[in-house]
Amino acid sequence: MTSSTASLSETSTGLPSAPEPMTADEVLAAAERLVPVLRERAVETDRERRIAPETFRLLQEAGVFHILKPKEYGGFELTEHDHAMVMMTLARGCASTAWVASILSSDNVAIVAYPQETQDEIWGENGYATLAGNTNLNPKATAERVPGGYRLTGRWGFCSGSDFSEWLIFNAPAGEDGDGHMFLVPREDTITIDDWFPTGMRGTGSRTMAVEDVFVPDHRVQATKDTVDKIKERRVLHPTFDAMYAPWPSPGKFPFAAVGVGAALGAVDFFAETAGSSTRVAGALGGTVRLADQDYVATEFAEAAGEAEMARLMVEAGSAAFSSLAHQRRTPTQAELGRGLRDNALVTRVALRSVSRIFSLVGAKAGFPDHPVSRAKRDVELVSHHVTLNWRQNAVHYLASRV
């Protein structure tokens, strides 16, 4: 099989087998140092529709992919709160880069649902190995039962982070009832279809990945409906890893919402830094006005910035609450889960409103794709359409959990 993109092994030459252990504060500080670098590279990332290999290398060195990974494989076993704060920080510089980081960090929890044999296969020789793919069931895919496993054929879109991951996860019907099963496939057994041309989040490289009659052994296959129970069974392998006691998938990581909020905060940062020197046309007959001198600009910006900050505080508090539950080994109640789903959708909704207000203040200049506020608006818009952030759907779950 061939691919149009570089593999992780081709970009990680010289890295140690795993990074030195890092605390949550150290990883967050490393993420903060990356913000200006990511901001500088954001235009190129957007145009190229992928993050650069050197940017991915910086994420590796910052320990980002080890936040939610067991210590046995060089991970830091940090919390969902730490994950959310790091991803929100990275998104202030580049939402696409933060999205890839969030996906690949989160997917480590999917790996630990598999037997130790599988975990050893993925991380035993490469402590930086990551997992991308798509866990949505593709009913058109086929998985033929053969001795020792399955032969898998199909294609899955929206495979964020697949430019660099050595492993892909795909959901296909299998068994007598055609229930969804999760298949782990090495990257070299996949085909990349370059079809990622969206309006926002362009740098995520969320291309379609396909497999054609690929053998997948039994130890890399499990029923989707069994994932939660399998994670519980594997706790004995990693007894100090709190994230294995969180629900799956967990709203406590704010895996997508934190990116949307971070992108809005980045737009706030940019506007505050440039408003003093920025102008826009005064009227149809010409002339210019300085943005910082306009009362309407001050009132709109203050509210937009305040909304983004409130969303940030909600991500911070919500992720800390879920991390505390996992540390206590307490299963969230339906009311707590309902609130978590609501909060993920709500902060994204607020972030979109915030960045849209700032966009309107910039004027026609924001219509150009390379403008930072234009990119932030397009990115948050696309983030808001993720299935897990559907406001109406999550609002229904929230009310149902309260009555």
Q: Number of structural domains, the chain?
A: 3
Calculate ∠ Cα 310-316-318, nearest 5°. 100
| Of the candidates 252, 209, 204, 254, the residue with the CA atom closest to the CA atom of residue 99 | 204
- Residue 10 is predicted with a pLDDT of 40
Residue at 244 is within a domain: no
Tens-digit pLDDT profile for residues 52-90: 999 999 999 999 999 999 999 999 999 999 999 999 999
398 and 256 inside one domain: yes
Chain centroid to Cα 249, Å, comes to 13
269 and 211 inside one domain: no
Distance CA 13, CA 35 (A): 24
118 and 50 inside one domain: yes
110 and 136 inside one domain: no
Residue at 1 is within a domain: no
Q: Please, which pLDDT band fits residue 8 given cuts at 50, 70 and 90?
A: very low
Instruction: Let me know: does 253 contact 84? Beta carbons within 8 Å.
Output: yes
136 and 98 inside one domain: no
- Cα–Cα distances (Å) from 389 to 13, 85, 171, 316, in that order, read 37, 18, 21, 17
Instruction: Let me know: does 244 contact 109? Beta carbons within 8 Å.
Output: yes
- Average pLDDT (334-363) is 97
DSSP, residue by residue, 336-367: HHHHHHHHHHHHHHHHHHHHHHHHHHH-GGGG
* pTM: predicted TM-score of the whole model, two decimal places: 0.94
Query: Residue 3 pLDDT more than 60?
Result: no
58 and 183 inside one domain: no
Give the CATH number, domain containing residue 173: 2.40.110.10
The beta strand positions in 124-193, using DSSP E, are 131-137, 142-146, 149-159, 167-174, 179-186, 191-193
Residue at 294 is within a domain: yes
Residue at 113 is within a domain: yes
What is the three-class DSSP state of 1? coil
Residue at 50 is within a domain: yes
Query: Residue 311 pLDDT more than 70?
Result: yes
Query: Residue 5 pLDDT more than 70?
Result: no
Distance CA 341, CA 122 (A): 31
302 and 349 inside one domain: yes
84 and 172 inside one domain: no
Q: Please, which pLDDT band fits residue 14 given cuts at 50, 70 and 90?
A: low
Distance CA 159, CA 193 (A): 10
388 and 356 inside one domain: yes
145 and 76 inside one domain: no
Identify the domain boundary among 123, 146, 168: 123
Residue at 288 is within a domain: yes
Residue at 236 is within a domain: no
Compute the mean pLDDT over every residue in the chain, rounded to the nearest whole number.
94
Q: Is the dihedral of CA 195, 169, 9, 41 positive or negative?
A: positive
Residue at 363 is within a domain: yes
277 and 167 inside one domain: no
Q: Please, which pLDDT band fits residue 381 given cuts at 50, 70 and 90?
A: very high
Q: Amino acid identity of 144?
A: E
- Residue 13 is predicted with a pLDDT of 41
383 and 294 inside one domain: yes
How many other CB atoms are there within 10 angstroms of residue 282's CB atom? 10
> ω before 249 within 30° of 0 (cis)?
yes
Give the CATH number, domain containing residue 256: 1.20.140.10
Top mean pLDDT of 162-166, 276-280, 286-290 is at: 162-166
- Residue 6 is predicted with a pLDDT of 35
β-sheet bridge partners, residue 149: 146, 217
Instruction: Let me know: does 102 contact 260? Beta carbons within 8 Å.
Output: no
- Cα–Cα distances (Å) from 51 to 39, 43, 59, 257, 308, in that order, read 12, 10, 11, 20, 25
Tens-digit pLDDT profile for residues 353-380: 999 999 999 988 888 999 999 999 999 9
B/e letters for 104-132, b = 16+ CB within 10 Å, e = fewer, are bbbbbbbbbbbbeebbebbbeebbbbbbb
Domain of residue 95: give its range. Answer: 8-123
